[in-house]
Structure 1
Amino acid sequence: MRSVFNSSLLALGLATALAGGALAHDAPRVDPANLIPIPAYNAQMQASGAASTKAAQAFLETLTDAQREIVMMSVTDAARKKWSNLPAGIVDRSGLRLGDLNADQLGHFFEFLSAALDADGYERVAGTMAAEAYLSTDDQAKRLQWAPENYWLAFYGTPASDQDWAWQFGGHHLGLNLTIKSDRVDTMSPSFLGTEPAIFTYNGVKYENINDMHLAGWTLYDALDAGQKESATLTSVPRDISTGPGNDDVVPPVAGITGADLTEAQQQLLLATIEKWVGVQPDENAEVRMVEIAAELDQVHFAWIGDKEVNTDAYFRIQGPSLVIEMLSYSGNVGSSADGMGHYHTQYRNLENDYGNLTQ
């Protein structure tokens, strides 16, 4: 199968940045060893909307006035929709950069992340940032600004138990958007999870980020009989996911086999695949969301093309009345140091609740 790595978008971004005389971010480097591996997940934070609020308030107390001005914006600020998964050398981002935090502030940030994500979600962030550290010594790292300190946090609205607010954290291959209402997590849509490389070792720690999501989709596809596979199989691998950053209004055409045409065991495999994404957020909303999705499962479509192996061209989409999940595996890498080690883009959308319906 042909390689589908979308180098054209990257090349266009680079050309635009270089034509302007400078890349989007040219901040001083810090030693990636100071960030990676990130601190272990702190389960004592008891992730929830209320815990997110308290941890955000504690983090804000460590900041200077100037830093608070950078990190806090209106919940309806247009910047909230201008997130990206592209490298920092191509795209400017809103919010406070991790590389501009001191040790105490970083500690409070990771406490916040433990309060705001499920353990699985936290580990996926850890894997994406470790992949960035791996790429930081690549021959393209300087111009693309591949570095684990190049991730940004922004608060939209004021973290408080009596107010609606949201947080956004992202950088290369990462874009998390979670909304808190009435001190509960309301949505994590839209959110992007990706990595390059996918399976690697850094500082003695082995990472296998996103690959389990790929394998979950394959497990479902492999469980289909011949007729079901014919209904589920797409004709080609897309060049990139269609519902990612900048495409909030995109709803792909439905394709593949429906949940109504699956056996009960196959339906459970479909739900298990969906939960790989939904479970990134705290249980208080993940459990509610899974109940919602299960109720519409007969109308949820599953479409697949490709192989199960990392570093192969493969894609699947799960789509229902309120849900879109896309998973794309590339057989090519941008970084020469990551050649053959996998490259993933994935997207989660709640079509009825992007950004908590608080943006304008």
Structure 2
Amino acid sequence: MKSKIYLLFLLVALGACKKSTSTSSGGTTTSSASVTALNCSAASFSALATVNVAYSGTATVGYTGGNAVAYTAGTAISSTGVTGLTATLVAGTLASGAGNLSYTITGTPTTTGTATFPVTFGGQTCSFALTVSAATTSTCTGTQIEQLVCAANTFLGSLSTSQQASTVLAYSQTNAIKWSNLPCGSSCRVGIQFSTLSAAQLAYAKLVVAKAMGTQSGTGYSQVMQILAADDVLGTQQSGYSSGTYFISFLGTPSTTGTWQLQFGGHHLAVNLTFKAGVVAGASPFFIGVEPKTWTSSGTTYAPLAANQSAMLAILSSMSTTELATAKLSATFSDVLLGPGSDGKFPASKLGIKASTLTTAQKTLILNAIKLWVQNVDDASATSLLSTYTTELDNTYISYSGNTTLANNADYIRIDGPSVWIEFVCQSGVVYKNEIHYHSVYRDHTRDYGGSFSF
């Protein structure tokens, strides 16, 4: 009898052990590895895919709610739609919170179109898509700026003569400052509209943006693609909003030696990156906003500016009652102060609490927040800018207006340093009238538009 009981106990134990790991289309992971959301729609790729050309690259898929558990490499996932490719999860360890999964993609795509990879990981499922374009004569290699210029030339090479004329414009102050966060189409910005491009042309345009903006999930290219997706959500509620109503232009000819500006924007977005002699001379003005501030699509929840709001909130939450009283502004702000049309209009004096009076931990929170905006450029340029802002941190001021929760209409916070300027404000919804949405702008006192113009 005792031997039977022992055998039964052993079988139950073996069954429990067998269930301790789970195999999914995302790979084999421990059952305790979990995330709260996968962000497949903002997946970024290390290389462009071309039909009938062997592909070897990496897909980066962001996640939130990671629980710091290690996971093993996955099994190959075959692409659907465009076939011939496989994606395989790279082994790693989840961050505690937000992070990235990496998938190696190999194979040879058989047709043009979209190669879709359905993945399941940590209890979440989504699909990311890689655009496969027609063959071109250009393969982009070299330094970051060389790859960017190559991507720009590839995009321009796919356009007709008239389309090129709409895309490459004179490098002038008049063109440089013509941007807006409003849904005003071509009346308030320059360039060629996304909705007029073919699928291949659109893929090339997005590759330019991806090469110019950082590789981090949730910032840079990943963030702006989610802002475009938010406009598609708005379009389901009210006409006039669409990811197709965004514009891209080159002010001056893209090169590794000259001066030129990449401008990309539309509703709630303005990217202005200025290049001089092969380096980023200015990453601002940079406007980001979003409505709705969060939504769910195909089981995945998106919140493009949630990290920005959380980072600013962390700064205010760290302050004592006395510190908050010093940081409080008397004015009320219904929008950012230095939005479109306000170039060079920085306040004559700095207001709020000086960072030099704060603790080391509080200073770290300020730098963590600044980093989220500065990562709108390639990683090396972002690191350089952040180094400058770190050096100037003690002479940087924090101020706010409204409530410290950053959750109500007219709640506002500002970071104002010798160089860096960041504003973040809450507004009542325009389409989703019962919800709050966000506006934010990043500027630099001396580096806006690469310091090329006087205001």
User: TM-score w.r.t. structure 1 length?
Assistant: 0.83
Q: Distance in 2 between matches of 1:294 and 1:351?
A: 15
**Which letter does structure 2 place at the counterpart of 1:135?**
L
State how 1:84-233 maps to structure 2 within 5 Å.
84-88=180-184, 91-119=187-215, 120-139=219-238, 141=239, 145-233=240-328
2:446 to 338, 346, 352: 352
Equivalent residues in 2 for 1:291-330, closer than 5 Å: 291-305=387-401, 306-308=403-405, 310=407, 312-330=409-427
Indicate the residue corresponding to 1:276 in structure 2: 372
Counterpart-to-counterpart distance in 2, 1:160 and 1:356: 15
Q: By how many angstroms is 1:39 displaced?
A: 6.6
- For 1:152, the aligned partner's letter is F
Q: Which has the higher helix share?
A: 1
Q: Distance in 2 between matches of 1:238 and 1:244?
A: 12
Write out per-residue CA displacement over residues 42-95 of structure 1, whole angstroms, 9 at most, x where no aligned residue.
Answer: 234899433221211111111111100100011125122111111136944210
Q: Which amino acid is 1:125 matched to?
A: V
* More divergent stretch after superposition (197-206 vs 252-261): 197-206
Structure 2: give runs of 5+ residues left out of the alignment. Answer: 1-39, 49-140
Distance 1:227 1:48, change over 3 A: farther
Distance 1:93 1:287, change over 3 A: same
Comparing 116-125 and 234-243, the one that deviates more: 234-243
In the TM superposition, what whole-angstrom CA distance separates every residue of 1:189-216 from its partner, at most 9, and x where no partner exists? 1110111111112354321011211111
Checking the alignment, whether the CA contact within 8 Å between 2:333 and 2:410 is kept in structure 1 is: no
Q: 1:326 to 1:81 in 2, by over 3 A?
A: same
CA deviation after TM superposition for structure 1 residue 186, in Å:
2.0
Deviates more, 1:303-312 or 1:271-280: 303-312
2:44 paired residue number: 41
Choose from 56, 65, 68 the match for 2:161. 65
Unaligned runs of 5+ in 1: 1-36
2:272 touches 2:286 (CA, 8 Å); kept in 1? yes
Q: d(CA) in 1 for partners of 2:404 and 2:294?
A: 16
1:263 aligns with 2:266: no
Asked whether the equivalents of residues 198 and 210 of structure 1 are also in contact (C-alpha less than 8 Å), the reply is yes
Question: Using the alignment, how far apart are the partners of 2:144 and 2:439 within structure 1?
Answer: 26
Quick check: 1:316–1:327 contact (8 Å CA) kept in 2?
Answer: yes
Query: 1:354 & 1:154 partners in 2: Cα distance?
Result: 17
Deviation string 1:140-186 (CA, Å, 9 cap, x unpaired) is x2xxx211100000101111112121110011100000011222222
When the two structures are aligned, how many residues end up with a matched partner? 318
| Runs of 4+ deviating beyond 4 Å | 44-47, 309-312
Q: Which has the larger radius of gyration?
A: 2
Number of the residue aligned with 1:17 = none
More strand by share: 2
Q: State the one-letter code of the partner of 1:111.
A: L
Q: Using the alignment, how far apart are the partners of 1:160 and 1:208 within structure 2?
A: 35
Partner of 1:21: none
User: How far does the alpha carbon of each residue in 1:6-46 deviate from its partner, in whole angstroms, 9 at most, with x for none?
Assistant: xxxxxxxxxxxxxxxxxxxxxxxxxxxxxxx8673123489
Partner of 2:149: 53
C-alpha separation between the residues in 1 aligned to 2:250 and 2:424?
A: 28
Q: Displacement, 1:126?
A: 1.4
Residue 26 of structure 1 is matched in structure 2 by none
Instruction: Pick closer, same or farther for the CA change 1:200–1:111 going to 2, 3 Å.
Output: same
Alpha-carbon spacing, 1:78–1:90, altered in 2? closer, same or farther (3 Å): closer
Q: 2: CA distance between counterparts of 1:53 and 1:90?
A: 25
Distance in 1 of aligned mates of 2:320 and 2:42: 44
Is contact 1:152-1:170 (8 Å) kept? yes
TM-score, normalization: structure 2?
0.66
1:74 corresponds to 2:77:
no
Counterpart contact for 1:39–1:110, Cα < 8 Å: no
Report the 3-state secondary structure (helix = DSSP H, G, I; strand = E; otherwise coil) of the residue aligned with 2:319.
Answer: coil
1:198-252 CA-partner distances (Å, limit 9, x unpaired): 1112354321011211111111111112221211122353011111110002103
The C-alpha deviation readout for 1:106-163, integer Å capped at 9, x for no partner, is 1111111111111321121112111100111224x2xxx2111000001011111121
The whole-number CA distance in structure 2 between the counterparts of 1:127 and 1:78 is 29
- Shift in Å, 1:291: 1.0
* 8 A Cα contact 2:268 2:289, kept in partner: yes
Whether the aligned pair in 2 keeps the contact of 1:310 and 1:342 (CA below 8 Å) is yes
